[in-house]
Amino acid sequence: MSLQTLILVACTFAAAIPIRAQAQPSQEINALLEGASHSLDRYKELASDVRCDEATRQSLRESCKRDMEMLSERVQETKEKLARYRQSPAPAVVDFFDIYEMFHRIMEGTEVAQLPSEFYGEHNQRAFARIYNNFVKITAWVGGVARDEIQNAKCP
């Protein structure tokens, strides 16, 4: 067996059989997962404050309702992915990165908070801003940890 083949087999074996440190999430990851779960759970409360009927035009009211439905779907998908990650005996780095991408998608859906208040009403602008703020810190935190996990991953 050549040295190159031996190295390839060793990397494959190392990736297939998780090391105990990989199977046990770090305290930072556990704290992050708790914060992410709290943020996702809080969304329903924050979303109940959005009043799409206060938008100035019918098209904006419909857009607001679609945005809220989309956000609710994305939050639910992220909750499910996070639950699967937490239940996995040996979660992979790629699964953690998927969670980051899902939080990033939620953030894209809250961009309506950046629109002038005359579109959705001042109350709704504040409500969307609270939703945005609920996810912005978690998204940045997940992104930082995902980057670190990818950089620390073994075998290219």
pLDDT digits (tens, 9 = 90+) for 126-147: 888 899 899 988 888 888 888 8
Judge whether residue 52 has pLDDT over 80. yes
Judge whether residue 21 has pLDDT over 60. no
Q: What pLDDT is recorded for position 22?
A: 44
- Band of residue 40 on the pLDDT scale cut at 50, 70, 90: very high
For the question of whether the overall pTM of this predicted structure is more than 0.85, the answer is no
What's the chain's average pLDDT? 79
Q: What pLDDT is recorded for position 115?
A: 67
Q: What pLDDT is recorded for position 82?
A: 93
| Number of residues assigned to the chain | 156
Q: Give all domains of the chain, ordered by start, each with its CATH number.
A: 25-152 (1.20.120)
Helix-then-strand count for the chain, H and E: 7, 0
pLDDT more than 90, % of the chain: 25
Judge whether residue 25 has pLDDT over 90. no
The 8-class DSSP code of residue 111 comes to G
Instruction: Note whether 127 and 43 are within 8 A (CB).
Output: no
Angle 108-80-113 (CA atoms, 0-180°, nearest 5)? 20
Instruction: Note whether 53 and 61 are within 8 A (CB).
Output: yes
What distances in angstroms separate CA 91 from CA 9, 20, 74, one per listed residue?
A: 21, 12, 21
